[in-house]
Each structure stands twice: as structure tokens, then as C-alpha cells.
Structure 1
Amino acid sequence: MMSQLSQPWLLFAAILNGLAALAHVAVIFGGAAWYRFFGAGEGMARMDEAGRLYPAALTACIALMLAIWGGYALSGSGLIAPWPWAKAALCAITAVYLLRGLVVVPMAVASVPQPATPFWYWSSAICFAIGLVHLFGLIGAWRNL
């Protein structure tokens, strides 16, 4: 049975995680051209073209992780029953998104460990934005988690 929505930011975070998971699944089905377009790198695209399972397996694991993160956000939103360790999990998820969003800063400033590419800029911006949505939701739901 669903509870009443108590934290709309976490509902939004759940939706964003779900969309990210679906995008990763689409990349698996889109094949090498999609790996290239979405910035996974030439190595991943070539492995996919060669019929290796590694790109699809890795991308499926990422999609599964994002779906689980969406479940935690949905749980924190109050729409579904609380998941175990929700507060700790949502803190970790938020930190991962925010840190992934900030990783482009040293790349842009000092070209460390490599120069930032357009993929790094846009994917970092997306991750940072999703991290902020999680953070706002986490702050709002803190007492109820």
C-alpha cells in the first residue's frame, strides 16, 4: 500500500534515476553508435562491435544500480514503504552524484588526469543537478527517514 507523498524532491529524484536507468538500457540496445554518442568511449564501442559481453554487462549493472537508487529515492519520498538503511543510502547516493558532478573541475582547471571533453562537461552537469535534487529531498525528509 502506498503512503502519502511527504517529499516531492525525492519523488523527482526517483524519476530522474529511473530515466537514467532507462537511458542506460537504451544504450545497450542501441549498440556501438550509442556507446559513442553517449560518451562511453571508443573502447566500449569497439568491444560491443566485436560482440563482447562486457559493455552490455557493465551498462546493465549501472542501469540496475540507478534503478535501485530510484527505489531508495521513492522510499524516501514517502510513496512506498521505507527501505532498509534509507538515510545512509540516500546520503551515499547524494554524495556520489555530487562528487561525480564535481570531478570535471580539476579536469577543466588543470587537465588532470586528462583534459575535459564535452562529455565530461554535460554528464557532470547532469550528475550535479541530480545530486542537488537528492540533496534538497534528503534535507526535507531527514527527520522522517
Structure 2
Amino acid sequence: MNNNLIAAGSLNAIAGLLHLGCIYFGAPWYRFFGAGEHMANMAEQGMMQPTLITLGIASVLMIWALFAFSGAGLIKGLPLVRLALVAITSIYLLRGVAGFYFVTNPIGRSPEFWVWSSSICLALGLLHLAGLKQQWLALKS
């Protein structure tokens, strides 16, 4: 068992559940979590776009949780787990670092959103990286 990947998978699942909370609780949650006023307004108007986008993000996060749990040995091995974890780790690290660029050019989000979300992504990326490094030889490509 790999505690770093278990923690990473758990945090991915929590993030996925929080995204589902945005769908269920609507505009106030979209605003609180920094999705932007446009998404919150669309949710208030009952438009499907925020739901579909958020459902897509939640699904990806839940799949990422499964790959982290698989890499940790918590669940049965998924195919291409090493490749998937490399991709997930890379995406988190890239998003974490690149997001800090948007602090000074927030494009519809607050600078605070970019600091918080980038910090979270960077931390998740580093957690995945630590777990991936520990499990590298044990993982199937």
C-alpha cells in the first residue's frame, strides 16, 4: 500500500464530490468555489451547460481517484496505470504552475481563485509524484 497515492486518490474523490455539490447546491457553490459569475448565472437560469461541464470534471476526478487507488494497491490493477498516473501527475503539476500566471491576468476569475486552485493542484501533483516515484517499479505500464 502506498499512502501517498491513497491520500491523492482520496483528495481526488473529495474534489469530485465537491464538484457534484456544485451541481446539487447550484449558484452559491459555484460562486464560493470560484467557478465565475458566468457559471453561477447560468446555473441560476437553469441552463444545462454548468451541470454538464461540472459533471465532466467530477467524472474525470473520480476516474483519477480510481487510478491512484489502483496504483496504491488498494483496488484491483487498472490497465495502463503507470501511464495514467504519469499523465495525471503531469496535468496537476502543469495546471498548478501555469495557474499562477493567471493571478495577474485572472480572465473572469479572482486572483484568489488562481492562487488557491493552483496551490491545490500543485500539492496534488506533488503528492501523486511522490506516490508514483515510490510505486514506479511495481506499476504495470
Q: Distance in 2 between matches of 1:72 and 1:113?
A: 31
User: Secondary structure at the residue paired with 2:35?
Assistant: coil
Provide the alpha-carbon RMSD of the alignment: 1.5
- TM norm structure 1: 0.90
1:127 aligns with 2:116: no
Q: Compared with structure 1, are the counterparts of its residues 113 and 27 closer, same or farther at alpha carbon in structure 2 (3 Å cutoff)? A: closer
| Runs of 4+ displaced beyond 6 Å | none
Q: How far did 1:113 drift?
A: 7.1
- Name the residue aligned to 2:88: 93
Q: How far did 1:116 drift?
A: 6.3
- Name the residue aligned to 2:21: 26
1:39 to 34, 37, 49: 34
Q: Compared with structure 1, are the counterparts of its residues 28 and 71 closer, same or farther at alpha carbon in structure 2 (3 Å cutoff)? A: same
Q: Distance in 2 between matches of 1:78 and 1:104?
A: 31
Q: For the pair shown, which has the larger CA radius of gyration, 1 or 2? A: 1
CA contact (8 A) 1:101 1:123 kept: yes
Q: Which runs of 5+ in 1 are unaligned?
A: none
- TM norm structure 2: 0.92
Overall identity of the aligned pairs, in % = 47
Q: How far did 1:30 drift?
A: 1.3
Q: Distance in 1 between matches of 2:100 and 2:40?
A: 26
Q: Which runs of 5+ in 2 are unaligned?
A: none
Q: How far did 1:106 drift?
A: 2.6
Q: Distance in 2 between matches of 1:140 and 1:116?
A: 36
